[in-house]
Amino acid sequence: MSSSRNASQACASCKYQRKKCDPHCPLAPFFPQHRRKDFMNVHKVFGVRNVLKLTKNLGHKEKSEAIKTLIYQADVRVKDPVGGCCRVISELQHRIKNLEAEYRLLLEQLAVCRAQKQAKAPVHKQQQF
């Protein structure tokens, strides 16, 4: 029995590099053949060598998470070569700034309403305090 996967089983990375995909292929668990697009984006943005270097000291779970995040970042960078994830971050920060401003406004409106409610309360009620 061969120790390498045959061509139809090779991972997206080995298939692209026309390499034998052996059972110890470090990218096979993360880039099965049907994730070719993910692999191509990651390869285009980071390069296979860098992905291997960046993840070599991580355990399987962390490596899996790291590769997921690299796939996301690569996809965003391919779609937005100038801004990449930074534009996503910037937009989210902008949304937070707006939400905080709206929140402060609502807080002021609530304070005004409470003050008016107190002022409108019948006199005998107010005198209890």
CB 6 to its own copies: min, Å:
31
Position among 49, 60, 124, 128 found at the interface with its own copies (CB under 8 A) = 49
Position among 16, 96, 127, 128 found at the interface with its own copies (CB under 8 A) = 96
Rank residues 19 and 114 by Cβ distance to its own copies and give the closer one: 114
Name the nearest CA neighbour of 38 among 68, 64, 71.
Answer: 71
Position among 107, 124, 127, 128 found at the interface with its own copies (CB under 8 A) = 107
Residues sharing a CB contact under 8 Å with residue 33, sequence separation 6 or more, in sequence order: 8, 9, 10, 11, 12, 15
CA-CA distance, 13 to 48, in Å (whole number)?
A: 8
And the tokens for 57?
């000291």
Rank residues 36 and 78 by Cβ distance to its own copies and give the closer one: 78
